[in-house]
Amino acid sequence: MDFAFSEEQEQLRGFARDFLADRYDDVDLARLADSETGVDAEVWPKLAEMGWLDAELTFLDQAVLLEETGYRPLAAPYFSTAVLAAPALDDETAKRVAEGGLTATLAWAEPGVPQGLLDPARATVSGGRLTGEKILVPDGATVDLFVVTAADGLYAVEASAATVTPHRTLDGTRRLATVRFDGAPARPLASGDAAAELLGRIRDRAYAAAALEAVGVAQRALDLLVAYAKERKQFGKPIGVYQAVSHKASDVYVRLQEARSLAYWAAWCVAEDDPMARQACLAAKAFAAEAAVFACENAIQGHGGIGFTWEHVLHRYYKRAQWLAAFDGPARDQHAEIAAFLLD
């Protein structure tokens, strides 16, 4: 496969990086992560103005944005809305999202049962009203709309009709919530085989998106490590000349390039609806998320004592990397599914 982003997509990347850098320096990122909600309430309309929420964006366009929101974490429910919920929304609701008037997320995991995106749901709908409990709902306390998995399909439920219990999580800029629906008015989105197929496509997109974000996280960790290794001196020399530090940077670089290749492959497969999309997304999510964790751990160690302090920004990226690695199950789950593709 001969793949490269277009000139317009690279321009979009540059604009996104500048916007995020201007809006979220390390101090602002820490302030938002430690705030009551973990969300920048004023940024969503700005994303709409810039076209980040347009339904016309291809997944390769979104891939550029997702990588940049890993490099500089975006304190808004962009992943939840654009990746998890958007594929299930009807045209009218998608228009509200594009105009900056609506945020959404997917609610699928339930207590006491397997919690994967493709596992059966127990929530029920009777007379147009949904009853059930969902846990680990990304951005559940800050969105306007839930796309809910039920036993017979997917439904849209307004957040105002649910009981939401927010939870502080490791990554303060991407929190989870428990959501209860007690006869909440529900609008059908998909049912039967169509719902199962749609969930499969959502999972592929989510895995590719997680891999792309992870690449951005790993790149930022490497950049911080390299910059510190050049400026910090020990025994009269920059610490980057010592193998204990330079080997860490080179190991991270190699792992990052492998992760980027897999993430771009997954993004292309999703955008082109390629038959290899499922395998590509599984491989990308498993490898890239672990690569981001690896990059952050090595960057923290390369910074020495300062890397372990609360004031340094590295632990914010480390937490995002761990969130991505844990999303919808650890890498061993994806490895097992890849093995089934190859061997069964």
* 296 and 312, same domain (yes or no): yes
* 277 and 163, same domain (yes or no): no
CA 132 to chain centre: 25
* Residue 244 confidence (pLDDT): 80
Q: Does 2 map to a domain?
A: no
Residues in the chain: 344
**CATH number of the domain to which 280 belongs:** 1.20.140.10
CA-CA distance, 282 to 234, in Å (whole number)? Answer: 43
Query: Is the pLDDT score of 231 beyond 90?
Result: no
* Residue 234 confidence (pLDDT): 78
Determine contact, residues 105/77, Cβ cutoff 8 Å: yes
Q: Does 1 map to a domain?
A: no
* Residue 2 confidence (pLDDT): 63
Residue of 266, 265, 259, 264 lying closest to 288 (CA atoms): 259
Of the ranges 53-62, 234-243, 310-319, which one carries the lowest mean pLDDT score? 234-243
Query: Is the pLDDT score of 197 beyond 60?
Result: yes
Query: Is the pLDDT score of 304 beyond 70?
Result: yes
DSSP 105-169: EEE---TTS---TTSPP--EEETTEEEEEEEEEETTTT-SEEEEEETTEEEEEEGGGSEEEEE--
How many C-beta neighbours within 10 Å does residue 341 have? 12
* 210 and 339, same domain (yes or no): yes
Q: Does 69 map to a domain?
A: yes
Domain ends where: 157, 190, 223?
Answer: 190
Within 42-105, residue ranges assigned H as helices are 43-49, 59-71, 78, 91-98
The amino acid sitting at 339 is A
Provide the 3-class DSSP secondary structure of residue 176: strand
* Residue 133 confidence (pLDDT): 98
* 27 and 48, same domain (yes or no): yes
Q: How many domains does the chain have?
A: 3
Query: Is the pLDDT score of 163 beyond 70?
Result: yes
DSSP 243-311: HHHHHHHHHHHHHHHHHHHHHHHHHHHHHHT-TTHHHHHHHHHHHHHHHHHHHHHHHHHHTGGGGGSTT
Would you tell me the crossing angle of helices 59-71 and 7-23 to the nearest 10 degrees? 30
* 249 and 131, same domain (yes or no): no
* 157 and 268, same domain (yes or no): no
pLDDT tens-digit map of 94-121? 999 999 999 999 999 999 999 999 999 9
Return the structure tokens found at 26: 């390390």
How many C-beta neighbours within 10 Å does residue 23 have? 16
Residue 80's domain comprises 7-98
Return the structure tokens found at 45: 């309309």
Residue of 65, 66, 88, 330 lying closest to 209 (CA atoms): 66
Q: Does 213 map to a domain?
A: yes
**CATH number of the domain to which 32 belongs:** 1.10.540.10
* 232 and 292, same domain (yes or no): yes
CA-CA distance, 173 to 316, in Å (whole number)? Answer: 9
pLDDT tens-digit map of 316-339? 999 999 999 999 999 999 999 999
Reported as a pLDDT band with limits 50, 70 and 90, residue 1 is low
Domain ends where: 98, 115, 140?
Answer: 98
Domain ends where: 190, 214, 246?
Answer: 190
**CATH number of the domain to which 145 belongs:** 2.40.110.10
* 307 and 200, same domain (yes or no): yes
* Residue 243 confidence (pLDDT): 79
How many C-beta neighbours within 10 Å does residue 68 have? 24
* 199 and 339, same domain (yes or no): yes
CA-CA distance, 320 to 322, in Å (whole number)? Answer: 5
Determine contact, residues 249/302, Cβ cutoff 8 Å: yes
Q: How does the average pLDDT of the chain come out, rounded?
A: 95
* 174 and 203, same domain (yes or no): no
Residue 102, φ and ψ in degrees, nearest 5: -155, 140
CA-CA distance, 103 to 44, in Å (whole number)? Answer: 9
Query: Is the pLDDT score of 178 beyond 70?
Result: yes
Return the structure tokens found at 270: 């999703």
* 315 and 257, same domain (yes or no): yes
Residue 165, φ and ψ in degrees, nearest 5: -115, 105
The amino acid sitting at 74 is L
* Segment 75-80 mean pLDDT: 97
Q: Does 299 map to a domain?
A: yes
* Segment 266-275 mean pLDDT: 97
Query: Is the pLDDT score of 150 beyond 60?
Result: yes
* Segment 194-218 mean pLDDT: 98
* 205 and 302, same domain (yes or no): yes
